[in-house]
Amino acid sequence: GAVVSQHPSRVICKSGTSVKIECRSLDFQATTMFWYRQFPKQSLMLMATSNEGSKATYEQGVEKDKFLINHASLTLSTLTVTSAHPEDSSFYICSATRQGVYTGELFFGEGSRLTVL
C-alpha cells in the first residue's frame, strides 16, 4: 500500500513551452503533497507544500508564477513549469502524507526528469 505515481517519468520540451507533471496517490488519500527538486548529485530541495483545496505554500526563492501547483483532489497534485527554460531542467519528485495516519512517513513518487532544450 501507499503508492505514489508520477507522470511523465521523462519529458523533453522546447524552451518557452509549459510542462505539466502529475502526482497521484493510488491507494490512499493525501491531504498534503510536497514537491521537491533535485539537481544531479545533490539533495532534495523542497519547492512547495500543497494542501488539498487550498493554495500551495512556496519555499523562499521559488517563483510561484513559474512553478504552478494545483492540488484539486485528495489523490492528485500537479506541477506546471510555465515558460520553461534550460535552467529549469532538473529531477522533480513529489511526496505525500497519508490522510489520518500520523507515522511521519512521506511516500515518494518515482520522480520526473525534465529536460528543456
Partner 1 sequence: AQTVTQSQPEMSVQEAETVTLSCTYDTSESDYYLFWYKQPPSRQMILVIRQEAYKQQNATENRFSVNFQKAAKSFSLKISDSQLGDAAMYFCAYRSKRLYNTDKLIFGTGTRLQVFP
Contacting positions for partner 1 (CB under 8 A): 31-32, 34, 38, 41-44, 46, 49, 51, 91, 93, 95, 97-99, 101-106, 108, 110-111
Considering the complex, state which of residue 15 and residue 27 has its C-beta at the smaller distance from partner 1.
Answer: 27
Residue at grid coordinates 510536497 = 34
Considering the complex, state which of residue 70 and residue 111 has its C-beta at the smaller distance from partner 1.
Answer: 111
Beta-strand ranges (E) seen in the chain are: 4-7, 10-13, 19-25, 30-38, 44-51, 57-58, 67-73, 76-81, 90-98, 107-108, 112-116
Q: How far is the CB of 1 from partner 1 (least distance, A)?
A: 13
